[in-house]
Structure 1
Amino acid sequence: MSAEMIGFSFILIGVFLMIGKVVRLHVKTLRDLFLPSSIIAGFIGLFVGPEALGRLTSQWLDADSVFHQGLIPEFVLDVWSTLPSLFINIVFAALFLGKVVPNLKKIWLIAGPQIVMGQTVSWGQYVVGLVLALLVLGPVFGMSPLSGALIEISFVGGHGTAAGLSGTFNELGFSEGADLALGMATIGILSGVVIGIILINWGHRTNRAKYVGGKAQFSDKERAAIGESYGYDVERETKEISSMEPLAFHLALIGLAIGIGYILQQLLIGLEASTWGAWTGTYLFPYVPLFPLAMIGGMFIQLAFDRLKIDLYIDRGLINRISGFALDVLLVSALSTLSLAVIGDNIVPFLLLSIVAILWNVFAFLVLAPRMIPEYWFERGVGDLGQATGMTATGLLLMKIADPDNETPALEGFGYKQLLFEPFVGGGLVTAASLPVIHQFGAVTFLVISSVIKVFFLIFGLVFFGRKKS
């Protein structure tokens, strides 16, 4: 494949992003669902690609026609199919760069209940998913035991994580898992917004949500900011690097973070191969993708800059722009190359997993949150509900509706929560390792592990935080 073909493939992503932006501006329903332009663009690409329009054009046009499989040339789809597993490394390498990391005591005092609640929900998603896989999906539909991890990967991890793990799905012989995960991530976002707003209205009527009000409507600027963002960051003063173009400097930081992650990955693979792997014949790290280790590389760089007192040279706003660009490219390319045939062939398991995930998330919010979060459970818990359905931005949206004037510590706690949440679940180390662990040790083993950890966080939350409830 030529460089011109690769370049054209990126140009076409830009074209679809512009189309997605225009569609979003003119379709109020999409704005009300707070869907980013990149997701809209991805579904437009899916519609005009081989999975939808291509099924019609293939009946009319000869096989040698460039539009035989739709409006997107085959070589473009070949390029796009490789992008998610590459660009997810940029997203995770940038996750903690430029963030002020407070001490653990402050994080725990402010965000402790939300950390425990988030961990309980995430590990619970593994439990319900694995139980469903062992009792129904495997015996009845012949699905891989790896399907038990789809709920956590899709609903907490979201589109980025689902797309980034496509290589792992393929290597472990469950290639259809990547398409199912992307489809479920879309269900997660839509259900999170719709169900979250319904619950907020219910909470307002029953006086459980006591801070609804304030700004009754979102301004167009606020609506765009929430819908087009993937997280929340506080602006901070930065210093310019006069000897290097700032964009190049920050790209170099992200590249260095990925490089550190790659070195860690190779060291772990080598260590495993010469120790317990050689002794037991069990190998995990060759299947663990690079992106969670790239996140650790970014944390190392940030800690080094903090120690040297040069952390202000990192512009979090610019890091966000780079990360946002990478995530936009990832989402358009992943959704455009989604296989509708795979979802159609597995529609019943797909729906079962989605319904079970939604029921667990709503149960956790309505039953566990009031008992685990001692103060402002509704405002804090609704943010966890939003994040548990696939996007940090969904959690921010629901908190902004429930507490528009930030009268509760929900938003601050939600931000601090990520520092002890994202490195592990929701796309972190546990999420990335879950597939190879299930593959090597079996779904029952990982179910036992998940159940023990979930019960630990559940009891800890109920006993330690629950007794503080006024």
Structure 2
Amino acid sequence: MSPEVVGFAIVLLASVMLLGKYVRVKVPFVQKLLLPSAIIAGFIGLIVGPQVIGRLGEPLGWAWLEDGGLLTSGIVDIWAELPGLLISVVFATLFLGSRIPSPVRVAKLVGPQLSIGVAYGSGQYVVGILLGLLVLSPLLGVDPVFGALIEIAFEGGHGTAAGMQPAFEDMGIPEATDLALAIATVGLVSGIVIGIAVINWGVRTGRTRVIKNVSEQSKSELRGLYSDDERVSTGRMTSRPGSIEPLTLHVAVVGLAIIIGWLILEGLIWIENQLWGLPGSVWSEEGLTLLGYVPLFPLAMIGGVIIQVILDRTGNTSLLDHETMKRIQGLSLDILIVAALATISLDVIASYWETFLILSIAGILFCATILVYFTPRIIPEFWLERGIADFGQSMGVTATGLALLRVADPDDESPALEAFGYKQLFFEPFFGGGLITALSIPLMVATGSVYIVLIPMAVLFIASLVAGRIYYKGVRSGRWSGPPAKVDEVT
């Protein structure tokens, strides 16, 4: 692949992203759905690429369309490689630039929030794998491991779905990537629609503590822009440009976090090869590959945590700025989503349309049930404000949850944002792209049994709901104190 083709592919991707933003600004229907511009751009890329317009070349007699549609096969190939690279950047930045708080302090606030989050993550595995065993496998002949795609797509989102592509290919199930991306799109859109509907229902029935009516969003909010009078934090300068540009410093640290993650992964693979990975190893005569299927991105996140802990312990926390890290993360995630959606295979979705529909509908119903039925029985105060963020995250990405939270609590009057942020410290390393997400399907493929994931996730799901109920009853009875109620302090 020539450098000119690589460069043009990146420039063309940027142009498609700009076109996606233009559609968001100009089309009212798209604005009402609160669709991110990256999702719109991804669909535009899909339409102009080989999967849609490219298929019109033969019937129309336009041979030039058959090689990638309005794109070329070379550009499509480059775009297809980007998600697997950029997902490590997204996860490496999660905890960089933000001091990691004391676990004791976090635990006092995060209890019920973590119960709900774990219930979403573990429950999606339970529902999906059970459907795989009871429906997908006997009726459709589909491997029940595909049931795990609900958590990978809904909780993990487009980034995780695309980032798992190398692992899926190594395990001989490359079609899982396209299915996961399609399910992730359904989850994100339905999560926003259902989330807004639940907030409106909560306002009408008096279940919201902060807002008493849902005001119309401003024109700038619908267009996804900031008005002239809004002041938004864009980060701070942590180094003098004369020495090193601050953005360069932050990108360099992200690269170091990914290198640390890669070293950890290579070390784990080496240990596995010595113990059970290779034929004739200490614990296995035939050899069993497990860690070799683990993608890099969850280890890149651990690399970021290691760097941040070192900075905290050495008094250099201010060297990095979390807002700048979020901008790097946002750029990487936008490019990742556009590239992943634009290169999705419609043939795979058509071949597995029954599986796609079953898993999508089951995931939506499960998440909606957790929000409406279980959340008010686990979170004693501000249940809708605190629960809506986890619901949005469980069906899309963290940004979806925060967007819904901003509708339910626009001025941060409840403890929802703080509790959600602390929960991420415990939740992200495992679910939604963490170690459990990365290991679940490799474990099932390597052992040949889905029960190695189903049973622990079922136990964890039940335990999270039970623990949440115990906390709820303790607060309601007055034995324990819940988190501070900001709205009471304001009033």
Residue of structure 2 aligned with 1:463, choices 458, 462, 470: 470
Instruction: Determine the C-alpha separation between the residues in 2 that align with 1:120 and 1:234.
Output: 33
Residue of structure 1 aligned with 2:434, choices 428, 432, 436: 428
Residue of structure 1 aligned with 2:411, choices 394, 405, 408: 405
User: Structure 1 residue 302 and structure 2 residue 301: aligned?
Assistant: no
The alpha-carbon deviation at position 324 of structure 1 amounts to: 1.5
Counterpart of 1:218, as a letter, is Q
Counterpart of 1:462, as a letter, is R
Counterpart of 2:294, as a letter, is V
SS in 2 for 1:143: coil
Change (3 A) 1:76 1:154: same
The alpha-carbon deviation at position 187 of structure 1 amounts to: 0.5
SS in 2 for 1:469: helix
Q: What is the match of residue 263 of structure 2?
A: 263
- CA offset digits 1:329-364 (Å, max 9, x no partner): 111110000011111111111011011101111111
The alpha-carbon deviation at position 236 of structure 1 amounts to: 6.5
User: Structure 1 residue 289 and structure 2 residue 288: aligned?
Assistant: no
Q: What is the match of residue 230 of structure 1?
A: none
- CA offset digits 1:237-295 (Å, max 9, x no partner): 55314522222211110110000000000000001111143313222110000000000
Counterpart of 2:31, as a letter, is R
The alpha-carbon deviation at position 36 of structure 1 amounts to: 1.5
Is the 2:144–2:450 Cα contact (8 Å) retained in structure 1? Answer: yes
Instruction: Determine the C-alpha separation between the residues in 1 that align with 2:473 and 2:158.
Output: 33
Deviation larger for 213-222 or 449-458: 213-222
Query: Gaps spanning 5+ residues in structure 2: where?
Result: 227-231, 478-491
Q: What is the match of residue 443 of structure 1?
A: 450
User: Structure 1 residue 352 and structure 2 residue 358: aligned?
Assistant: yes
Instruction: Determine the C-alpha separation between the residues in 2 that align with 1:5 and 1:179.
Output: 25
The alpha-carbon deviation at position 39 of structure 1 amounts to: 1.1
User: Structure 1 residue 8 and structure 2 residue 15: aligned?
Assistant: no
Instruction: Determine the C-alpha separation between the residues in 2 that align with 1:59 and 1:430.
Output: 46
Instruction: Determine the C-alpha separation between the residues in 2 that align with 1:138 and 1:366.
Output: 30
Q: What is the match of residue 115 of structure 1?
A: 114
Q: What is the match of residue 132 of structure 1?
A: 131
The alpha-carbon deviation at position 406 of structure 1 amounts to: 2.3
Is the 2:111–2:471 Cα contact (8 Å) retained in structure 1? Answer: no
The alpha-carbon deviation at position 419 of structure 1 amounts to: 1.0
Deviation larger for 96-105 or 354-363: 96-105
- CA offset digits 1:98-149 (Å, max 9, x no partner): 1122111221222221111100111000000000001111121121232021
SS in 2 for 1:81: helix
Instruction: Determine the C-alpha separation between the residues in 2 that align with 1:78 and 1:435.
Output: 26
Counterpart of 2:207, as a letter, is R
Q: What is the match of residue 187 of structure 1?
A: 186
Q: What is the match of residue 487 of structure 2?
A: none
Counterpart of 1:458, as a letter, is L
Residue pairs, 1:177-216, within 5 angstroms: 177-213=176-212, 216=215
Residue pairs, 1:19-30, within 5 angstroms: 19-30=19-30
- CA offset digits 1:9-63 (Å, max 9, x no partner): 1011011011111111101222222222111111001011111111112323454
Deviation larger for 120-129 or 54-63: 54-63
Q: What is the match of residue 34 of structure 1?
A: 34
Counterpart of 1:453, as a letter, is L
Residue pairs, 1:83-232, within 5 angstroms: 83-213=82-212, 216-223=215-222
Query: Gaps spanning 5+ residues in structure 1: where?
Result: 228-232
Deviation larger for 237-246 or 443-452: 237-246
Q: How many residues are treated as equivalent by the alignment?
A: 464
Instruction: Determine the C-alpha separation between the residues in 2 that align with 1:215 and 1:140.
Output: 45
Counterpart of 1:134, as a letter, is L
Identity of aligned residues (%): 46
Is the 1:371–1:466 Cα contact (8 Å) retained in structure 2? Answer: no
Deviation larger for 14-23 or 218-227: 218-227
Change (3 A) 1:187 1:226: farther
Backbone CA RMSD of aligned residues: 1.9
Q: What is the match of residue 394 of structure 2?
A: 388
